[in-house]
Amino acid sequence: TESPNINDPVTERNLQKAAKIITQAGGLVGFPTETVYGLGGSAINDESTANIFKAKNRPSDNPLIVHISSMNQLERIITANTNNPSKAKIPEIYKPLIEKFWPGPVSILIPIDTSINDKNNPYVLSKNVTNNLDTVAIRFPSDPVARSLIALSDTPIAAPSANTSTKPSPTMASHVYHDLKGKIPLILDGGNCNIGLESTVINGLVSPPTLLRPGGLSIKEIKKVPGFENLVTELNIKKDSNEPVRTPGMKYKHYSPNAMVYLIINTKPEQNIFKSEAIGKLINANETSKSALVSELGFGQFKESDNLILRELGTTVKDIQFNMFRLLREMDQLSVKRILLIVNNSTLEDEDGLAIINRLGKAASEKVYI
Ligand code: TXA
Ligand code: MG
């Protein structure tokens, strides 16, 4: 495979080139969306979808999200992947959600028949997309580059986040290049992703509807939509329990930089967390290797030095979401060995903070409440 430039700017020519790659069997492209960068391939081609799993080193039982750029494409997907024509409709429950938030950072589960094998219908999804589940996650991104790519290729695009499996999701083209250079021929560089965190994944096919992954669209917003008022948001899926795994992606190690990550949660707003023994110990444990404070709460008495990196995580949910993956990746670049992520309990208690605790909680090997 030809290696991409670190920066293939979004020009008409590069978009055409990318769309052409998508329409070729096996062809993959890195592209921006409003959430994170995607690793895109044709959702209706087995070679392309197989290559996505290979390039990311992704377990095959973690299904892909299919990206569309028009409602007509959704209708075509439903029709082509449903045996019974009378059932081939957009589920009613989703209509107000779609109306309000598409295009945008929310993905929805749509029923499909796994037995379909109609070689004559070009919209039959590759079996690799869902790994034989009877649902497929569909997303209509708002990012103009993503939409142009889907529309130009005239193909639904299967796209996981464009990182190597287990690594933090990419929010800049350089992150994609770092993980996938030599494995894909083109990365469209659309700059920073506005949101910086993946789409919210919703299952409206069960009653009440459930949240499968907190993400770019806030839970508070979703709960305002008729039919979603009682959205179930518990994500307490334990890795080695007998509970069924509700969304396959939740059971894997995720978002992890090379460094040891500690998520430090300040439970008492009045205390100076930086004077605590726990932080003192972690920072001084080994002065010959690099540590980092990535903090919502300033840095107290700590000053930056050769072995101590200080970075502001942000102070609003939106800022933290925007910054977190980029900062985790930067710490790897700086060869930091130990990252202390310092957040306020109130950020995490805010329902909108669920996506942050979910991602940072997975990135961290330890949570420390102070
Ligand atoms: O914002 C996003 O959604 C990004 C950009 C590129 O659009 N894509 C993304 O894809 O985050 P990925 O593959 O990294 O995450 C897909 C998530 C996983 O947690 C997966 O388990 C879940 O969606 N998922 C996909 N299809 C599913 C299905 N049929 N049932 C349950 N969960 C599903
Ligand atoms: Mg991902």
Residue 175 marked ligand-binding: no
In the structure, which protein residues have their CB atom closer than 6 angstroms to any atom of ligand 1?
33, 35-36, 38, 62-65, 107, 109, 130, 133, 135-137, 139, 141, 159-161, 198-199, 201, 212-213, 247-249
Residue 233 marked ligand-binding: no
pLDDT at 9: 87
Distance CA 347, CA 353 (A): 6
Domains along the chain with CATH numbers? 8-249 (3.90.870.10), 260-369 (3.40.50.11030)
pLDDT at 293: 96
Distance CA 196, CA 167 (A): 14
pLDDT at 114: 85
Q: What are phi and psi of 223, to 5 degrees?
A: -65, -15
Encoded amino acid at 75, one letter: E
Q: Is 24 exposed, middle or buried (0-12, 13-18, 19+ CB in 10 A)?
A: middle
Compute the distance from residue 213 Cα to the ligand 1 centre, in Å: 8
Residue 94 marked ligand-binding: no
Compute the distance from residue 296 Cα to the ligand 1 centre, in Å: 28
- The complex scores an ipTM of 0.99
Distance CA 266, CA 274 (A): 10
Distance CA 318, CA 342 (A): 16
pLDDT at 243: 46
Helix (H) or strand (E) holding 310: strand 308-312
pLDDT at 242: 47
Query: Which residue's alpha carbon is at the smallest distance from atom 13 of ligand 1?
Result: 160
Query: Which residue's alpha carbon is at the smallest distance from atom 7 of ligand 1?
Result: 38
The segments of the chain whose pLDDT lies below 70 read 1-3, 5-6, 235-253, 285-287
Ligand 1 atom nearest to 37, measured from its CA: 6
Compute the distance from residue 107 Cα to the ligand 1 centre, in Å: 8
Residue 62 marked ligand-binding: yes
* Residues 6+ positions from 127 with CB-CB distance below 8 Å: 46, 114
Residue 135 marked ligand-binding: yes
Compute the distance from residue 161 Cα to the ligand 2 centre, in Å: 4
Distance CA 176, CA 172 (A): 7
Compute the distance from residue 33 Cα to the ligand 1 centre, in Å: 14
